[in-house]
Amino acid sequence: MADLPIEPDYSSPIEFEPGVLKAEFGDGYGQRAADGINNNMEKWELSYNELNDAEVQVLLNFFFGLNGVTNFAWQPKFSAVAKKYICPRWRAVPVGDNDNQFFCSIQQVPEL
């Protein structure tokens, strides 16, 4: 398993949206339960600013190689250990001469 080759900016937000099963019974009553054992996986919007062309090419090659299917390891700021993620979407934005931004959405995948 490969490691994320370049650390993202600290301004990268994390999102949680637990999977919840709901049953509504009427008169306002209902029941909720966790949807599976891994129902609250992390989702990050990683951002990179002020990257040179070579650094952007490293990230593009890395994510193209994984093709949104193969997982990679990354240790986020709020974690003591590295976790597994996939990246289904990424984009590069040229800002100036040898000055670029890069953004990618990553999702945590369950450990096996």
What CATH code is carried by the domain that includes residue 54? 2.40.30
Name residue 51's beta-bridge partners.
Answer: 100
Domain of 9 in residue numbering reads as 2-108
- Residue 26 — very low, low, confident or very high, per pLDDT cuts 50/70/90? confident
Could you give the CA distance from residue 44 to residue 37 in angstroms, rounded to a whole number? Answer: 20
CA 110 to chain centre: 13
Number of domains in the chain: 1
Q: Is the pLDDT of residue 112 over 80?
A: no
Strands 2-3 and 72-74: parallel
Output the pLDDT for position 27. Answer: 86
What is the pTM assigned to this prediction? Answer: 0.86
Q: pLDDT above 70 covers what percent of the chain?
A: 99
Output the pLDDT for position 7. Answer: 95
pLDDT averaged over every residue in the chain? 94
